[in-house]
Amino acid sequence: MWTSRPLVVSLSSSVAGPSLLDRRLLIVTGKGGVGKSTVAAALALLASRRGKRVLVAEVNAQERVAPLLGAPPAGPVPREALPSLFTVDVDPQHALEEYALMVVKVRAIYEAVFENRLVRFFLRVIPSLPETLMLGKILHEARAADARGRPRWDLVVLDAPATGHAVQLLGVPASLLDTVPAGPLRRDAQWMQDLLADPARTAVCLVALPEEMPVVESIELDARVRDELRLPRGVLVLNAVPEARFGAEEGARLAALEGRPPPLGPAARAAVLQARRATEARRHADRLRAALDLPAVEVPLLAEERWGRKAIERVAGFLEGRI
């Protein structure tokens, strides 16, 4: 097993406000398969080690964060995975129940109304209702306080859906404000939008791989977050960046050895392929960094026999001091 040293970190002065982990809400998103859950778990682990009480929320998904941290899945109720680090998987049904009980106060009334089969049918066909309920639950956690007025959580990390679904989810409050008349739902949409759009409390973190499709999608996603959703952006995490191990002269020597018999020839071939991959990854990484006016952190490609808590701790180690 080999390890890499941290790669170059670029911090942009164009992003003002508190440091990343001093926000109340971090939204982690990107193309599917780029390591969003890994980065979300690493950010939460890092914040908890700084003495913060942290909740990581997933949205109606097969839970990944708790297992990555070596804990059992939490389900719809927050469960402590590590000291001061909790996880939850928010689904529409439990979010509806919690919201309804906040409104009607009495469970018997909730069951009489919301457990009615006809009512449940009409609720299922209301556009964006599941997204509204799930996002509302997460944002409620981000602003909730205890009896003494202290925040329930110092930080909520949302492991958001991939790209398009994330935009749809995060755009719900603004859409409601454009369409819903005055009333309780509009008031809820207003505080939700105010929290999402507040750069002192919220930041959207983009995760990408140094590859063609993730780079293209990340550029498009950043534009939508900035111009369409108008949400504050925090940092770009370039994940799994292969290390450039060989210079041009070394690469030429390795190429000359490719035809040699084993084990030298195959080893030289593997080294040449790794060098090409690293060169290509650097090209994509530089393109993305140039396109986005964001602080950028590069996490090197890690080799782990099993992707679990040890890997999350290593990623958190690379993020330490760089966000």
For the cut 90, the answer to whether the pLDDT of residue 309 exceeds it is yes
User: CB 214: neighbour CB atoms within 10 A?
Assistant: 25
For the cut 70, the answer to whether the pLDDT of residue 126 exceeds it is no
45, 85 in Cβ contact below 8 A? Answer: yes
CB-neighbour burial class of residue 226 (10 A; exposed 0-12, middle 13-18, buried 19+): middle
Quote the tokens at residue 184. 């309780």
What confidence score (pLDDT) does residue 50 get? 94
Q: What percent of the chain has pLDDT over 70?
A: 84
67, 99 in Cβ contact below 8 A? Answer: no
What confidence score (pLDDT) does residue 180 get? 82
More confident residue, 221 or 131: 221
Q: Domain residue spans in the chain? A: 20-238+293-319
For the cut 50, the answer to whether the pLDDT of residue 48 exceeds it is yes
**Res. 2 pLDDT band, cuts 50 70 90:** very low
The CATH homologous superfamily to which domain 20-238+293-319 belongs is: P-loop containing nucleotide triphosphate hydrolases (3.40.50.300)
The mean pLDDT of 269-288, rounded to a whole number, is: 93
**Res. 306 pLDDT band, cuts 50 70 90:** confident
**Res. 102 pLDDT band, cuts 50 70 90:** low
The mean pLDDT of 161-174, rounded to a whole number, is: 93
Query: Could you tell me how far CA 45 lies from the centroid of its own chain?
Result: 13
Digit-coded pLDDT (tens) for 9-24: 433 333 345 789 999 9
More confident residue, 121 or 249: 249
What confidence score (pLDDT) does residue 98 get? 66
Digit-coded pLDDT (tens) for 75-92: 999 999 999 999 999 987
What confidence score (pLDDT) does residue 97 get? 61
Between 95-99, 173-177, 225-229, the lowest mean confidence (pLDDT) is in 95-99
What confidence score (pLDDT) does residue 117 get? 57
Digit-coded pLDDT (tens) for 221-240: 999 999 999 999 999 999 99
Q: How far apart are CA 81 and CA 77, in angstroms?
A: 12
For the cut 90, the answer to whether the pLDDT of residue 131 exceeds it is no
